[in-house]
């Protein structure tokens, strides 16, 4: 906000109380309005409400509206093509090259735009593991974006640490600043551009907070590979005996819901690294999809989003009663909640765990033909990891239809993967073999027919199958070999009816089921052709056969 009238906002007197000695002039930012350094949650609430950025609702959450962008602008993301990284980047649909000179010009215009504006700074860390921790400075126009950064990342523990903070990566988010596509060579007025050489990322033209989170994830997906760490788009939890489970999957497949298990401690809900001594969270918060959230099926998340400090994006509420309506999708189906991980009662305090005993790859099969659970060999696990099959659930990316779209997203997170998928797959293979990790494919999609005909599998059955996996109760049950994909499908599972385990049972027409299954297999085969040159033969052979 450009404070032309020099109006004093609630926290002006505390704005510089914990200012870093490494100031914003180091990033080219000068002639600014008031800069608010590392404000706590309460102060950011005051600033956000004073600036009319959001509203307070029952329970204490802050509701905000992100305007025209209610999802990620995947087609507006760019990586600066410069000598130090250009030969390492997986250039293509998700990593579009951006000219260094164009970036310098766009950055200079952004700096000019921000002159006279009030700004909010949060100096935070990405990565719970101290060996891999990355100091990140997040500079925002909006107070609520600063609160989002504070929710999502790891905060310095003392004021002295804040004053001595020196960032190794800087992210500037200015939603009210737009690019000029004809000058800047952007795809639209919205842009998300990362420069690995200058160690800076800039976001403009969108207020969707997920861009901040996913830009930091993108940065880590590049940098941590140098450390031998596998960056993963997954949630993670840990049992009472220390066994760790990973849940890979795109948005809408159940990563957050299924990992929030009252019987297990939550390490994190979305982004993790697998290093030499185990798994660690990249973040310190959760960013859950909350459309039609159920207090019965997802009680922990239901409670978390009602606490003071939570941010609700594009959630509908009654301005008189201040009650929220999580079933109302008038703004978007991609309604979101950001909250600190501590809001989950059994969150793991260190945000770290040992090497995983089980990896669960979540797929939301809109075709209604995949089995609800299958055991994978190492080669099959790599094949499905590289394939990343699922259905995009409406609203998670701009331009998506309401009907789920079948998609293949490499490593279950292609939009954020900077390196070629084979690089991440090789790291995964080495770690699975070294630590004897068991791998599973779990379908959280439709049964009895495709979307519009069948129905989505009950989360209660999915939880029962996961309980059986994590308690080793599927070790001694009978299995059948799937005739198309070759993986092993259990024919018995505690607390799950036998007929649920075979999806063909729910189809009234077995011939239609078989045809749809073969069609899906064909799409797998066609998709994998673009990775075949970089994959071992045994991984290619682990795919489906028709």
* Residues with active-site annotation: 72, 214, 233, 251, 255-256, 270, 336
| 292 CA to centre of own chain | 19
Up-side HSE of residue 154: CA atoms within 13 Å toward CB?
20
Strand order across the 62-64 sheet: 54-56, 62-64, 311-313, 336-340, 285-289
Residue 459: CB atoms within 10 A of its CB come to: 16
* Residues 6 or more apart in contact with residue 259 via CB below 8 angstroms: 235, 236, 237, 245, 247, 266, 268, 269
Note whether 537 and 374 are within 8 A (CB).
no
Note whether 287 and 311 are within 8 A (CB).
no
Cα–Cα distance between 203 and 172 in angstroms, integer?
A: 6
Helix residue ranges per DSSP H, 372-484: 378-387, 421-435, 459-470
Helix residue ranges per DSSP H, 388-446: 421-435
Question: Is beta strand 96-98 parallel, antiparallel or unpaired with respect to 77-80?
Answer: parallel
Cα–Cα distance between 175 and 207 in angstroms, integer?
A: 5
The CA R_g of the chain, rounded to the nearest whole Å, is 23
Interaxial angle between packed helices 143-152 and 210-223, expressed in degrees from 0 to 180 and rounded to the nearest 10:
40
| 449 CA to centre of own chain | 29
SS3 sequence of 168-201? CEEEEEECCCCCCHHHHCCCCCCEEEEECCCCEE
């Amino acid at each position: 906000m450009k404070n032309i009238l020099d109006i004093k906002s609630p926290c002006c007197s505390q704005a510089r109380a914990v200012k870093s000695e490494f100031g914003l002039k180091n990033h080219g930012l000068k002639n600014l309005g008031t800069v608010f350094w590392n404000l706590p949650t309460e102060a950011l609430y005051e600033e956000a409400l004073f600036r009319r950025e959001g509203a307070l609702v029952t329970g204490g959450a802050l509701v905000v509206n992100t305007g025209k962008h209610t999802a990620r602008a995947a087609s507006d993301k760019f990586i600066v093509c410069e000598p130090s990284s250009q030969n390492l980047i997986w250039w293509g649909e998700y990593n579009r090259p951006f000219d260094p000179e164009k970036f310098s010009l766009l950055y200079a215009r952004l700096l000019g735009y921000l002159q006279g504006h009030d700004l909010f700074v949060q100096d935070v860390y990405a990565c719970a593991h101290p060996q891999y921790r990355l100091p990140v400075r997040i500079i925002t126009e909006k107070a609520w974006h600063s609160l989002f950064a504070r929710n999502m990342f790891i905060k310095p523990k003392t004021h002295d640490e804040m004053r001595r903070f020196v960032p190794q990566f800087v992210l500037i988010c200015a939603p009210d600043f737009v690019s000029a596509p004809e000058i800047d060579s952007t795809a639209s007025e919205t842009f998300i551009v990362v420069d690995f050489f200058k160690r800076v990322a800039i976001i403009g033209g969108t207020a969707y907070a997920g861009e901040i989170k996913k830009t930091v994830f993108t940065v880590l997906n590049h940098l941590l590979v140098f450390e031998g760490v596998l960056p993963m788009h997954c949630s993670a939890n840990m049992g009472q005996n220390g066994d760790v489970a990973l849940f890979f999957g795109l948005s809408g497949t159940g990563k957050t819901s299924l990992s929030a298990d009252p019987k297990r401690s939550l390490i994190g809900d979305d982004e993790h690294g697998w290093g030499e001594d185990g798994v660690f969270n990249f973040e310190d918060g959760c960013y859950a999809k909350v459309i039609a959230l159920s207090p019965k099926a997802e009680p922990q998340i239901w409670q978390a989003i009602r606490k003071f400090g939570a941010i609700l994006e594009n959630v509908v509420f009654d301005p008189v009663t201040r009650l929220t309506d999580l079933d109302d999708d008038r703004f978007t189906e991609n309604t979101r909640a950001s909250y600190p991980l501590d809001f989950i009662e059994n969150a793991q305090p260190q945000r770290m765990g040992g090497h995983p005993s089980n990896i669960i790859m979540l797929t939301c099969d809109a075709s209604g033909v995949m089995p609800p659970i299958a055991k994978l060999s190492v080669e099959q696990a790599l094949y499905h990891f590289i394939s990343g099959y699922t259905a995009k659930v409406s609203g998670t990316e701009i331009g998506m239809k309401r009907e789920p779209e079948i998609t293949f997203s490499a490593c279950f997170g292609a939009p954020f993967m900077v390196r070629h998928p084979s690089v991440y797959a090789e790291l995964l293979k080495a770690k699975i073999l070294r630590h004897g990790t068991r791998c599973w494919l779990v379908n959280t999609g439709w049964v009895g027919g495709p979307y519009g005909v069948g129905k989505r599998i009950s989360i209660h059955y999915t939880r029962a199958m996961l309980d059986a996996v994590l308690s080793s109760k599927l070790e001694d049950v009978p299995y059948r070999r799937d005739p198309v994909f070759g993986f092993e499908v259990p024919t018995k599972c505690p607390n799950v009816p036998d007929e649920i385990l075979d999806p063909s049972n729910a189809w009234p027409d077995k011939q239609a089921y078989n045809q749809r299954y073969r069609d899906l297999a064909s799409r797998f085969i066609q998709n994998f052709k673009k990775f075949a040159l970089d994959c071992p033969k045994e991984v290619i052979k682990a795919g489906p056969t028709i």
